Structure 1
Amino acid sequence: MRLIDLSSPIDAAAWEPHPVVHEVMTPAEGARHMADEMRSQFGIGFDPADLPCGELLSIDTLTLTTHTGTHVDAPAHYGTVTSYGPPPTVESLPLEWFHAPGVLLDVSSEPMGSAVDAGCLERKFAEIGHRPDALEIVLLRTGADAWNGTPKYFTDFVGLDAGATGLLLDLGVRVIGTDAFSLDAPFVAMLEHYQRTGDREVLWPAHFAGRQRPYCQIERLANLGALPAATGFAVSCFPVKIAGAGAGWARAVAHVED
């Protein structure tokens, strides 16, 4: 079994629409902090100088959204009003959704900024000789991960339209992944299309599909080009269990039989 990392990092040094703040407490600072905390909370302390090198443990504090880096969007992220009742938050999702056979669809040749339709996906199924089965995890390779950490990552990718998303849901897919910033078309492209046509249906259709049927997106994947084939691998992408959250970070990994 070979493991392929499909995750993009959380990096405070990289460009983000919502910047990440990463504060590091060094092991020496951690020793002093722990000594002070034990003394103030429990009335018993210690001298950091008694520790080897005067160090204890480092502590990292991050300020970021749950949509930073590779993450799973839960149905609660898509809105509060659905056709199926209260949308589940990330900690309540079925675990079996997040460890399943994977299907890779390469849409990197589609026009930049577009939202591919159901016809495009049908052609991709024919190319790989496989239609996704229920609960298989479908991964879209757009090639956008090459721009991760730069402003271009926010604007240069390919998404899905309502028909394409609906097709995958009709097949029983419950987790759809992309190496792009969003499963929808780029925000700028969507808004330009809307302003040009007045068609409200072009606004976040892939996300809003989750108001009709519960499903999850894995956004901001990476390294999909390392997968050796369109099928024949499994994906693990369990989201972090954050109570009441609409999304959770995930370490997505492909399992490939050698």
Structure 2
Amino acid sequence: MSFIDLSVLFEPDTLSDIPIMRPHFQYSDHETGAGEMMKTYGCSREDLPAGGCCADTRISCADHSGTHMDAPWHYAPTMNGGERARTIDEMPMEWCMGNGVCIHFQDKPDGYKVTAADLEQYFRRIDYQLKPLDIVLLHTGAQKNYGRTEYRITGCGVGREATLWLLRQGVKVVGTDAWSWDVPLPLVAKEFAKTKDPSVIWEGHLAGVEMEYYQMEKMTNLDLLPVTGFQVICFPIKIKGGSAGWVRSIAVL
């Protein structure tokens, strides 16, 4: 048995995120911690370890910072054709662990929109029939730009029809190594400016209005995965009312 870490390093001020999503860290060292311990316990410095103690870190970030799981509430207020959309703390736990399937589309150009026909052809080629609760991961190759602003415009994305095709096979959880499950947002904005077609806006996400699903974004190491034959474990942090939750996702081979 071996493990592959599918989550990026959660670090401060990464350029991969837009400014309002960038995590900010405030580190408190052991000497500062020792001072707090002296206040708490009424002890002297000599009563504590020579090197100090009780370091901690305070973090300010969005629930979409780093590798995270989007909940249907992020997409819209309703799901499944009218039900109240679930928040991340309401995600069924049994959907967070299952057989993994990796779609290797790293050769698709940046901004390419994956279609249902692309998926049908891919699964015919690998001779695999999706099963309910398979966890489907999309390897776009975007991870090579993680940590840079270019990351936000790198990789292919999944359109509405392709997302719904996966969901109709019983898939509930998907993931990508790109910034978004959708085609990179700045590229879609350019398309909309030309066409004024609202159907291109966030179409992969908005498929969740029709059918409930959860998506992981900003994953890593998907290039190390086989097509099938591994398990994915991806429990999100239980944020009350959260539109997403940070996730330490791993593959077990």
Quick check: TM above 0.5?
yes
Aligned position for 1:201: 199
Q: How far does the alpha carbon of each residue in 1:80-123 deviate from its partner, in whole angstroms, 9 at most, with x for none?
A: 13424111111111111110000010111112112111111111
Q: Which structure 2 residue ranges, 5 or more long, are not aligned?
A: none
Are 2:146 and 1:148 aligned? Answer: yes
Aligned position for 2:63: 66
For 1:34, which of 26, 34, 37 is the aligned residue? 37
CA–CA distance in 2 between the matches of 1:54 and 1:179? 40
Q: How far does the alpha carbon of each residue in 1:147-197 deviate from its partner, in whole angstroms, 9 at most, with x for none?
A: 111001011111001110010011010001000000000111111111111
CA–CA distance in 2 between the matches of 1:203 and 1:48? 59
* Cα RMSD for the two superposed structures: 1.2
CA–CA distance in 1 between the matches of 2:82 and 2:170? 16
Alignment of 1:67-82 (within 5 A): 67-82=64-79
Matched to 2:26, the amino acid is E
Aligned position for 1:25: 28
Aligned-pair CA distance for 1:54 = 5.4
CA–CA distance in 2 between the matches of 1:221 and 1:209? 21
Aligned position for 1:127: 125
Aligned position for 1:7: 7
For 1:191, which of 189, 192, 213 is the aligned residue? 189
Aligned position for 1:250: 247
Alpha carbons 1:12, 1:19 under 8 Å: kept: yes
Aligned-pair CA distance for 1:13 = 4.8
Are 2:111 and 1:108 aligned? Answer: no
Q: 1:28 to 1:202 in 2, by over 3 A?
A: same
Deviates more, 1:13-22 or 1:204-213: 13-22
Matched to 1:27, the amino acid is H
For 2:46, which of 13, 26, 49 is the aligned residue? 49
Q: Secondary structure in 2 aligned to 1:53?
A: coil
Per the normalisation by structure 2, the TM-score is 0.95
Deviates more, 1:171-180 or 1:84-93: 84-93
Q: Secondary structure in 2 aligned to 1:164?
A: helix
Q: Which structure 1 residue ranges, 5 or more long, are not aligned?
A: 39-43
Aligned-pair CA distance for 1:124 = 1.1
Aligned-pair CA distance for 1:12 = 1.0
CA–CA distance in 1 between the matches of 2:215 and 2:29? 36
CA–CA distance in 2 between the matches of 1:84 and 1:132? 27
CA–CA distance in 1 between the matches of 2:162 and 2:126? 17
- Count of aligned pairs: 249
Aligned-pair CA distance for 1:56 = 1.8
For 1:159, which of 145, 157, 169 is the aligned residue? 157
CA–CA distance in 2 between the matches of 1:119 and 1:137? 19
Alpha carbons 1:68, 1:249 under 8 Å: kept: yes
Aligned position for 2:167: 169
For 1:139, which of 137, 140, 148 is the aligned residue? 137
